[in-house]
Amino acid sequence: MAPSSSKGYGYLYQYTNCRILRDGKIFREDLWVRDGRIMNPEVLFFVERVNADQRIDCGNLIIAPGLIDVQINGGYGYDFSTESQVEEGIKKVSQAVLSRGVTSFCPTVITSAPHAYKQILPKIKKRNGSKEGAGILGVHVEGPFIERERRGAHPSQLIRDYDKGFKDVLEVYGDLSNVAMVTLAPEKQKTPEVIQEFCKRGIVVSVGHSNANLIQGEEAVRSGARFITHLFNAMLPFHHRDPHLVGLLTSDQLPQNRKVFYGLISDGIHTHPAALRIAHRVHPEGIVLVTDAIQATFLPDGTYPFGEQTIVVKGKHSYLKDTNTLAGSLASLDDCVRLFAKETGCGPELALQAASLHPAQMLGIADKKGTLDFHSDADFIMLDDELNVKATFIAGECVYRA
């Protein structure tokens, strides 16, 4: 607990000798934090007339919003789609990702059996971050309402349709109170009504693992979908006569107030650097960097379970056993930020925003997360000029230091 101030206000920290990322620019300015929030110095100086209780020299580091990973399947030996591992896995992964600058994330559950969802989803509760680990923003349920031909590493026998509409969704998932977002294939029958029902419940809908054409994708967005799961992967490729879901980045058939966000796995394996550059140049404000990290992340080469299947890890690659199908990533989010900045030349500002501000905007929480705006949560990281994480803070408390 922070010490109390003798001035009648909460204890006030002033971070000096730093460069902060705000409004898409990095500039030299002090950061003021009190009671877990970013403070406006003008109010402190001219209204409250107070000085900092403690000044902290940041050694010329960059201060940026904490990173947010909206697609992470597990890591460090734990798989969120395995019923027996969920609670222990959340505890381990949420603590481990602090060193990678992640202050909030969406644990991702891949295509599973209904009984598994009913066991797993209630155990992944939304919570604020702390020194115990990064915050949980809600579950990202990826499947089972996807296309078999584009299933990737998802088990084919568990993929479902919603013949009865949203009733099928409820029968499969059970309680949706811990769900923040869902990935589905928009070409399935009754998709518009299913998307609308998700949106009524405040759940973000993403399109992916799909054979959809552009028209079907546009209909899904008009119905309320706002995200594309790992662009270029597990979907029909861009074609000049039908650009398919990739075409949503430039579609002129969407509501004017609807921004489409899209996930990118910039691990150097899932998405070629040229494809990263294309996406960046076409629709930079929609980029959301994700890891799609799996249980074997940061583990040695070998064979590991993945849901109900088996994967083989060799170096930086993970495949379904006896196939050449990629099975998630072995990257961390700070790795993805550095590689994206390097390969696209976008600069540290956009690369960092793509893993903080943009996912917060997509989830509708940018008033609190993903930004260093005044009154937002003091979830931030300190980085050197090579974007290596040197310290992580949640609600103004240092939870990791290199």
With a CB cutoff of 8 Å and minimum separation 6, the contacts of 373 are 22, 38
Q: What is the enclosing helix (H) or strand (E) of 352?
A: helix 348-353
Annotated binding site for substrate: 153, 233-234, 241, 270, 326-328
Q: Which pLDDT belongs to residue 4?
A: 54
SS3 label, residue 126: coil
Q: Which pLDDT belongs to residue 177?
A: 98
**Catalytic residue IDs:** 292
Look at the pTM and tell me if it is higher than 0.95: yes
Measured CA to CA, the distance from residue 289 to residue 367 in angstroms comes to 20
Q: Which pLDDT belongs to residue 226?
A: 98
CA contacts within 13 A on the Cβ side of 290: 31
Q: Which pLDDT belongs to residue 6?
A: 44
Q: Which pLDDT belongs to residue 329?
A: 95
SS3 label, residue 43: helix
Terminal CA-CA length for the chain: 22
Annotated binding site: 142, 153, 209, 230, 233-234, 241, 270, 326-328
Query: 293: closest CA among 85, 127, 75, 139?
Result: 75
Annotated binding site for Zn(2+): 142, 209, 230
With a CB cutoff of 8 Å and minimum separation 6, the contacts of 22 are 29, 371, 372, 373
Buried b / exposed e over 118-134, threshold 16 CB at 10 Å, is: bebbeebeeeebeeebb
Q: Which pLDDT belongs to residue 7?
A: 62
Measured CA to CA, the distance from residue 75 to residue 263 in angstroms comes to 19
Q: Which pLDDT belongs to residue 227?
A: 98
With a CB cutoff of 8 Å and minimum separation 6, the contacts of 384 are 61, 62, 390
Domain architecture of the chain: domains with CATH: 12-64+373-401 (2.30.40.10), 67-363 (3.20.20.140)
Q: What is the enclosing helix (H) or strand (E) of 274?
A: helix 273-282
DSSP string, 12-41: EEEEES-EEEETTEEEE--EEEETTEE--H
Low-confidence stretches of the chain (pLDDT < 70) are 1-8, 307
Q: What is the enclosing helix (H) or strand (E) of 90?
A: helix 86-96
Query: 384: closest CA among 56, 18, 99?
Result: 18
SS3 label, residue 401: strand
pLDDT tens profile 237-271: 999 999 999 999 999 999 998 899 999 999 999 99
Measured CA to CA, the distance from residue 288 to residue 358 in angstroms comes to 6
